[in-house]
Structure 1
Amino acid sequence: MKFNYFHSKQTRFGIHTVTRALSSGITRVSPKISLSLGKKLLLNPFGKRHYEFQRLQPDQTHHLETSLGKAHISIFGNSNKLVIVSHGWADNSSGFEAIICNLLSLGYSVAAIDHVAHGKASGKHTHLLNFIETLTTTIQYFEANQHQIDAIVAHSMGAVATLNLPAELLKNKKLVLIATPINFFELMFEKVDKAGISKKLLTHVLESISLQFGRHWQSLCLSQHLDKLTDNAYFIHDQEDKYACYDAVSRYLEAQKSNLFTTQGLGHRRLLGDTKVIAHISQVMTS
Structure 2
Amino acid sequence: MKKIIIKSTGFYLNTLAYVNPGLLKRKGYELFCNPLSKKVQPHHLAFLQTAEMFNFNFEEKKMQAYKWGNGSKKVILMHGWASNTFRWRKIIEKLIQDDFTVYAFDAPGHGLSEGKLLNLLIYKNCLEVFLKNVEKIDYAIAHSVGGFALQYMLYDNKTSGIKKAVVMGAPGEADDFFVFYKELLSLSKKSIRLIIEQFENKLGNQPSFFSAKRFAKEIDIPVLLIHDKYDKDTNPNYTEQLSKLIKNNTLIMTEGLGHNLKSKELDNQIIDFINEYSLN
| Normalised TM-score (structure 2) | 0.85
Sort the Cα spacing of 1:84 and 1:207 in 2 relative to 1 into closer, same or farther, 3 A: farther
Deviations 1:96-139 (A, max 9, x none): 11111111111111111101110000122222211011111111
Sort the Cα spacing of 1:198 and 1:130 in 2 relative to 1 into closer, same or farther, 3 A: farther
Match of 1:5 in 2: none
Which of residues 268, 274, 277 is equivalent to 2:263? 274
2:142 matched to 1:139?
A: no
Query: C-alpha distance in 2, partners of 1:91/1:264?
Result: 22
Which of residues 234, 252, 268 is equivalent to 2:242? 252
Which of residues 144, 147, 168 is equivalent to 1:156? 144
Sort the Cα spacing of 1:53 and 1:66 in 2 relative to 1 into closer, same or farther, 3 A: same
Match of 2:24 in 1: 34
CA contact (8 A) 2:68 2:101 kept: yes
2:46 matched to 1:70?
A: no
CA contact (8 A) 2:131 2:160 kept: no
Shift of 1:68: 6.4
Q: Find the residue that maps to 1:79 and give its secondary structure.
A: coil
Query: C-alpha distance in 2, partners of 1:179/1:241?
Result: 8
Which of residues 205, 213, 233 is equivalent to 1:223? 213
Match of 1:7 in 2: none
CA contact (8 A) 1:207 1:217 kept: no
Deviations 1:53-88 (A, max 9, x none): 555744422222222622211111123532111111
Percent of residue pairs bearing the same amino acid type: 25
Query: C-alpha distance in 2, partners of 1:253/1:199?
Result: 34
Query: C-alpha distance in 2, partners of 1:262/1:171?
Result: 27
79-88 vs 250-259, which deviates more? 250-259
Runs of 4+ in 1 over 6 A off after TM superposition: none
Sort the Cα spacing of 1:286 and 1:63 in 2 relative to 1 into closer, same or farther, 3 A: same
Shift of 1:253: 2.0
Match of 2:224 in 1: 234
CA contact (8 A) 2:17 2:190 kept: yes
Name structure 2 gaps, 5 residues minimum: none
Shift of 1:185: 2.6
Query: C-alpha distance in 1, partners of 2:219/2:64?
Result: 28
Query: C-alpha distance in 2, partners of 1:68/1:45?
Result: 19
Query: C-alpha distance in 2, partners of 1:19/1:83?
Result: 41
Match of 2:75 in 1: 83
Name structure 1 gaps, 5 residues minimum: 3-10
Which of residues 94, 119, 122 is equivalent to 1:102? 94
Q: How does 1:197-216 map to 2 (within 5 A)?
A: 197-198=187-188, 200-216=190-206
Instruction: Name the Cα RMSD after superposition.
Output: 2.6
Shift of 1:152: 0.8
| Normalised TM-score (structure 1) | 0.83
Query: C-alpha distance in 1, partners of 2:175/2:205?
Result: 15
Q: How does 1:157-172 map to 2 (within 5 A)?
A: 157-165=145-153, 166-172=156-162
2:278 matched to 1:286?
A: no
Query: C-alpha distance in 1, partners of 2:65/2:189?
Result: 34
Shift of 1:242: 0.5
Code of the residue aligned with 1:84 in structure 2: it is I
Query: C-alpha distance in 1, partners of 2:217/2:124?
Result: 18
Sort the Cα spacing of 1:254 and 1:214 in 2 relative to 1 into closer, same or farther, 3 A: closer
Which of residues 161, 173, 180 is equivalent to 1:190? 180
